């Protein structure tokens, strides 16, 4: 699911501030880029962004027919700054239900997000497909990010980020979401 959230441009400056104090960050799938700690949701400056992401996550829950008494809970939020030449290896987000990315700054050619076939056997025998074939039968889906867009995907779905071939930093927030019972129910 893809949607749009605006008004969070100041977070780019905040991420550079955090990076200046923690250059090492938390190495994960990043190759050549910087990955912050995954506890940014505890940072006051990210609170309204977390609220917006959770609202959109609830829409995903509804779309996925999750019972109304269960609501999304954020279990991780981190920033990534991928300078030119950097990328992210193939990975999943274990022990979570939904994951996603909020694109703060994505210059053209700064790296597509590529989702990979989760069932390797499916590629053993597959006829050539039409150019406009449905993504639902594709063996990989190449997603070109748009600034201020928010994308959700299942945490188990393997993905990678292609090399930043622009001459600027590619800056994103990424997150993990699980479910919890709504205390109001
Ligand atoms: Fe990821």
Across 107-119, average pLDDT: 95
How many domains would you assign to the chain? 1
Helix (H) or strand (E) holding 72: strand 70-82
Residue given tokens 């949607």 in the structure block: 3
Q: Report how far residue 23's alpha carbon sits from residue 26's, in angstroms, rounded to the nearest whole number.
A: 9
CA 91 – ligand 1 centroid, Å: 6
**pTM (predicted TM-score):** 0.91
Helix (H) or strand (E) holding 57: helix 47-63
pLDDT, tens digit, 9 for 90 and up, residues 24-63 = 998 888 889 999 999 999 999 999 999 999 999 999 999 9
pLDDT at residue number 44: 93
pLDDT at residue number 77: 98
Q: Would you say residue 86 has pLDDT above 70?
A: yes
**What rounded mean pLDDT belongs to the chain?**
93
Confidence band of 136 (pLDDT split at 50, 70, 90): confident
Give the DSSP letter string of 141-185: EEE---TTEEEEEETTS-EEE----SSS-EEEEEEEEEEEE-TT-
> 31 forms bridges with which residues in the sheet?
87
pLDDT at residue number 5: 65
Q: Would you say residue 153 has pLDDT above 90?
A: yes
Across 76-98, average pLDDT: 97
Do the Cβ atoms of 150 and 96 come closer than 8 Å? Answer: no
CA 167 – ligand 1 centroid, Å: 22
Q: How big is the chain by its Cα radius of gyration, in Å?
A: 17
CA 160 – ligand 1 centroid, Å: 7
CA 43 – ligand 1 centroid, Å: 21
CATH of the domain at 138: 2.60.120.620
pLDDT at residue number 28: 87
pLDDT, tens digit, 9 for 90 and up, residues 3-32 = 666 667 689 999 999 999 999 998 888 889
What is the DSSP code (8-state) at residue 123? G
Q: Note down the domain range covering 63.
A: 2-181
Across 115-126, average pLDDT: 87
Residue in 160, 162, 156 with CA at minimum distance from that of residue 176: 156
């Amino acid at each position: 699911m893809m949607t749009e959230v605006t008004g969070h441009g100041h977070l780019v400056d905040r991420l550079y501030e955090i990076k200046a104090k923690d250059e090492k960050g938390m190495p994960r799938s990043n190759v050549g880029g910087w990955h912050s700690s995954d506890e940014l949701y505890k940072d006051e400056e990210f609170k309204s962004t977390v609220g917006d992401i959770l609202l959109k996550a609830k829409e995903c829950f509804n779309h996925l027919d999750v019972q109304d008494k269960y609501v999304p809970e954020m279990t991780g939020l981190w920033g990534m700054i991928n300078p030119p030449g950097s990328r992210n290896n193939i990975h999943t987000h274990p022990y979570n239900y939904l994951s996603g990315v909020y694109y703060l700054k994505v210059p053209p050619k700064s790296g597509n997000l590529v989702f990979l076939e989760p069932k390797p056997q499916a590629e053993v025998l597959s006829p050539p497909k039409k150019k406009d074939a449905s993504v639902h039968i594709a063996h990989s889906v190449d997603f070109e990010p748009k600034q201020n867009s928010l994308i959700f995907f299942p945490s188990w779905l393997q993905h990678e980020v292609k090399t930043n071939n622009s001459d600027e930093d590619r800056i994103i927030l990424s997150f993990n979401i699980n479910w919890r019972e709504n205390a109001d129910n």
